[in-house]
Structure 1
Amino acid sequence: MSRFHRLTVEDIRKETRDAVSIAFRVPPELREAFRFTQGQYLTLRRDIQGEDVRRSYSICTGVQDDDIRVAVKLVPGGAFSTFANEALAVGDSLEVMPPQGKFFVPLDPSRHGHFLAVAAGSGITPILSIIATTLETEPGSRFTLLYGNRSTAGTLFRERLQDLKDRYLERLNLIYVFSREAQDVDLYNGRIDDEKCRALFDRWVDVTGLDAAFLCGPEDMTGIVRRALQDHGMAPEHIHRELFGTALPTAGARQRPANGYRRPGEGDAHIKVISDGRVVEFDMAHDAESILEAGNAQGADLPFSCKAGVCSTCLAKVVEGEVEMYANHALEDYEIEAGMVLSCQCHPISDRVTLSFEDH
């Protein structure tokens, strides 16, 4: 699953002034590999001016759509987003990893549930897939979306959301919050902050009646919403969060903690990584770069994208030994207890460590 496949760009749509959506042509022999679950993402790779650039983007189409498409919002100075918005053309090819991610709950056609989604900006991309798929698959369920943007013109997928509203009139409730465009209801003006969440959950959304909540956007916003939901009685395990961007530095810019990493013995740690049927062994210092970076320097070709502990493309399981994660914004407590780690954030604590990229 960690292998890249070269796919042809089938369609590019200008969604807003600074965002495009990109659809891929998947050949018959790769259809099964690229079958996705709502809320998952694709990792894309392209050589840009001699640099191997990888980025993860959420799939924005429903599972029932005959279309696998991601949205890419232009980020000032962003190598891949600039290329995708300004240079990529239909007929070009990109290296694409099969769908990954756990930002979803299993669907049940017999369920009569109520789901909440809270998104800001391009955080709508996986949410759109989740809403479209859920409403199609669970005809007795409802969805409420709280969606923050600067203005109507910059609202990504507004027309697609309106299409869904027209189709599922009584089952989809759309609440737009604009920070730079006035609306008649004062509660819907400004940013999605703590005060606004508590007012909404006090008056408009029965949190105790929700089956699940999906939060996607900047770290600070999703953290605020999560705390407000828990304060209104929602169990943490029913709140699912996906981050778009993080304040953390990437692995290459990481600052070593003042007290360093614990060293159990003299010399280097011996590391074994298992990926795609290959076993690569090497030694590394306990306080050196991450296991991911050290492994790839030895030719292991381990999967990665963000290198910031956000996307989970580098997910692995600790088979032997003990590691320490510098940061984690992707794994739940139960996953860590099961031995799952983000290899881009891992440093060895024991003298021997084995990570498997196949046991998850």
Structure 2
Amino acid sequence: MSKLYSLKVLEVKKETKDSTSVAFDVPFELYDTFKYKPGQYLTLQFNLKGQQVRRSYSLCSSPVIEEPLRIGVKRVKGGLMSNHINDNLKVGDIVEVLAPDGRFFADVKKENYKTYYLFAAGSGITPILSILKTVLLTEQHSYVHMIFGNRSQETIMFHEELKQLQEEYKDRFVLVQTLSRPKSNWSDLWKTPSKEFRKGRVDTACIEWFINEYPPYAQNVEYYVCGPGTMIDNTVKALENIDVPFDRIFIESFGGDEAKNTTEAFENANLTAHLNGEKIEIPIIKGKTILRALIDEGKEPPYSCEGGVCSTCLCKVNKGKVHMKNNLALTDKEVEEGYALSCQSIPLTEEIEIVYE
């Protein structure tokens, strides 16, 4: 099991009505442990409603600035931890945290000469903001073209920080904000149209317009996408339409837009799990995932987000079949090879055998 560290909360800042950023104090002796790449996440652990809960939140701070480790947390309807953080967390609180991790990050180097296209929607801005700041500060010859989608002006996270970056790096940073339901009033009828916002969603037409409007400066181009499922699908489709190689597209999904899952689990399946050199044999009560069955048994399987995003809980299914309720981390090839996210896996057969490699 990954090691937990106790960090003190330095600042809790309300970013919008439904989102908060949280800064942590990292002691000097943990500086090396908490080094991270722009785009990676931090995993927090709380005991809430009688159970141990972990969730992963992307870092919106930059590793090249002398600033505290900071995450952005948007309230989610029914979200156990996101609501706890927004409602209850305060300066001075001690939070159990895993070291930074994640496969979504930019390899930023001083000598790079690139064009970065950054696509974000909603709270998907958090890792994108980290990448944005790091590129602008480190790569003096690179350019950044960014589109950021929100519902309305009131829901834009880090709005003032983005405006400051626009002003400071106006020769190398283009930002277009698009709003699906912009706020307006009668006085707006007498004003000229705003150049600050574009109306609409981050959909295929929007992406195609954006790239045509702001073509790349450097031939070395990378595309970073973070947001809910539909936004990602639209963005990738638009990029494929203009023949962008898939290995140039980097994706971090923040869930959302999933269809309601109706797959029924096998009731009281028998689980055999190989974990940390131990062979564990327990039943999986209907309604529980493989991961939760092991945790409730007092075992310590690796896990982080419990949202099917990070792949920390990866295991290989050697016997039986499972169904993943959500999978935002594994490729089709990995699934075909028998790999599964234990935090999302429910049994479809009476006998299940897995190995944590």
TM-score, structure 1 normalization: 0.82
SS class of match (2:63): coil
Give 1:231 deviation, angstroms: 0.9
Deviations 1:28-73 (A, max 9, x none): 3322222111111111122234343332211000011231011112
CA contact (8 A) 1:10 1:90 kept: yes
Give the aligned residue type for 2:263. Answer: R
Give 1:346 deviation, angstroms: 4.0
Question: Distance in 1 between the 2:105 and 2:255 partners?
Answer: 19
Question: Distance in 2 between the 1:337 and 1:107 partners?
Answer: 33
Match of 1:57 in 2: 57
Question: Distance in 2 between the 1:305 and 1:247 partners?
Answer: 22
CA contact (8 A) 2:60 2:71 kept: yes
Give the aligned residue type for 1:121. Answer: G
Give 1:135 deviation, angstroms: 2.1
SS class of match (1:153): helix
Give 1:94 deviation, angstroms: 1.3
Please list, as runs of the form range in 1=range in 2, the aligned pairs for 1:141-156 lying within 5 A after superposition: 141-156=142-157
Give the aligned residue type for 2:169. Answer: Y
Give 1:282 deviation, angstroms: 2.0
Identity rate, percent: 34
Answer with 188-197 or 325-334: which moved more: 325-334
Give 1:152 deviation, angstroms: 3.0
Give the aligned residue type for 2:70. Answer: R
Give the aligned residue type for 1:20. Answer: T
Distance 1:204-1:34 versus aligned 2 partners, 3 A rule: same
Question: Distance in 1 between the 2:135 and 2:48 partners?
Answer: 37
Deviations 1:311-342 (A, max 9, x none): 3342x353966865524211345766887542
Question: Distance in 2 between the 1:38 and 1:219 partners?
Answer: 22
Structure 1 position 231 matched with structure 2 position 231: no
Question: Distance in 1 between the 2:288 and 2:77 partners?
Answer: 28
Match of 1:222 in 2: 232
Deviations 1:148-205 (A, max 9, x none): 1233333111221222223322111111112214754699212112222222233434
**Which of 191, 199, 204 pairs up with 1:194?**
204
CA contact (8 A) 2:54 2:306 kept: no
SS class of match (1:214): strand
CA contact (8 A) 2:115 2:220 kept: yes
Question: Distance in 1 between the 2:8 and 2:218 partners?
Answer: 45
Match of 2:75 in 1: 74
Question: Distance in 2 between the 1:288 and 1:10 partners?
Answer: 38
Distance 1:218-1:288 versus aligned 2 partners, 3 A rule: closer
Give 1:138 deviation, angstroms: 2.0
Match of 1:271 in 2: 273
Match of 1:5 in 2: 5
Match of 2:187 in 1: none
Match of 1:264 in 2: none
CA contact (8 A) 1:207 1:232 kept: no
Distance 1:333-1:69 versus aligned 2 partners, 3 A rule: same
**Which of 315, 318, 335 pairs up with 2:316?**
318
Match of 2:263 in 1: 256
Question: Distance in 1 between the 2:252 and 2:336 partners?
Answer: 20
SS class of match (2:280): strand
Gaps of 5+ in 2: 185-192
Match of 1:105 in 2: 106
Gaps of 5+ in 1: 262-266
Give 1:107 deviation, angstroms: 2.4
Question: Distance in 1 between the 2:352 and 2:90 partners?
Answer: 47
CA contact (8 A) 1:45 1:52 kept: yes
Answer with 146-155 or 34-43: which moved more: 146-155
SS class of match (2:153): coil
